A = this chain, B = another copy of it.
Amino acid sequence: MIDATHVMLAHGNGGRHMRELIEEIFARHLANPALDVRLDAAPFEIAPGMLPFITTDAFTVQPLEFPGGDIGALAVNGTVNDLAVSGALPKYLTLNVIIEEGLEVRCLDRIVKSLAAAARTAGVCVIAGDTKVVPRGQGGGLYIATTGVGFREPGRRLGIDQIRAGDVLLVSGPVGDHGIAVMLAREEFELQGSIESDCAPVTPLTAPLAAVDGLRFMRDPTRGGLATVAHEIAAATRLGVRLAEARIPVRDAVRSFCSILGYDPYYLASEGRVVAVAAPDAAGEILSRWRATPGGEQAAAIGAVGDGPGGVILATEIGGERFLEELEDDPLPRIC
């Protein structure tokens, strides 16, 4: 057994302590037939006839544990979701952890256990990993980077370049829960709330859309939120995006905290939502599939792609209009 209560530099040196840490925390929780921690590189299988996709993401959220999730679950779902919105079925993960000297071993154990549970839920196997330990004061507790490999049917037309003027924007559920949940967990605002992160795999929301003609593009509104996805669409298509405030689902509690804290919910991260762009005649089909899926009950059509340039405009509930500018300063460091 690991005899230390806190991670030491020696847990990252390649020797006995590191071997014990890997065996007793990582290999134990993450055990699966494709994982052999003695290998330098892991062989993996390609689903025959399928197109492989790869994605990677680093996670630096603070605090490491928050209502509705932790950095372990986030590191699985964030990467799984980048594959899912690309139309791929996630299959394999690789895992990097950068641990700050002094992290509680029990905390690390909880997070790796949570990561393993999230991987099982999302249907992915961790097949390779690496651990590093950095000296106290150089690490922020724990950083995780994951890389995911998944497979997509060949011939699908799905991508930001498929978007046309007149297409509609849909969102699978309320936005901003993750951002507010993490901010409240920091306890620096002396506010208490019952907002939980929406951190979850979105594959149950994306997989049922594979057969929907007219689905053009999907993205998960993480860093920078819904407004940033809208800007990415506007920049890539050179078409304006118009959002209708009254139709964008935002929980009352999120809206309240936003008004207290001075945040705009449209810039807040979600970690279990999907924004989709679709031809107008496909929108109903997507919404009905989402609404029949747990987590998609509040799915809504929230806007449209215009026929000329014009940035991102929000039609407000009181009948006005305002530009949603591209995000400038960082209001929320270490949110994901």
Contact = CB atoms under 8 A, between A and B. Distances in A.
Interface of A: 8-10, 12-19, 38-46, 51-60, 82-83, 85-86, 88, 92, 94-98, 127-135, 137-140, 143, 145, 147-150, 152, 159-160, 219-220, 222-225, 228, 231-232, 236, 326-334
A94 B138 contact: no
Q: Taking chain A's interface residues, is the majority helix, strand, or loop, or is none over half, making it mixed?
A: mixed
Contact of A41 (B40, B150, B236): B150
A86 B330 contact: no
B85 A143 contact: no
Given A16-B327, A41-B150, A56-B94, 14 more contacts: A13-B327, A15-B231, A15-B326, A15-B328, A41-B88, A42-B54, A44-B52, A54-B127, A54-B149, A58-B131, A60-B132, A133-B330, A143-B143, A145-B145
Contacts of A58: 96-98, 130-132, 145
Contacts of A86: 39-41
A70 B120 CA distance: 37
20 contacts: A9-B329, A12-B223, A12-B333, A13-B223, A14-B225, A15-B327, A16-B327, A17-B328, A19-B326, A41-B54, A41-B55, A41-B148, A46-B46, A58-B145, A60-B98, A98-B143, A128-B147, A133-B330, A133-B333, A149-B149
Contacts of A330: 8-10, 12-13, 15, 133
Given A57-B96, A94-B56, A16 B326 contact: yes
Question: Considering residues A58, A97, A222, which has the most beta carbons from chain B within 10 angstroms of its beta carbon?
Answer: A58
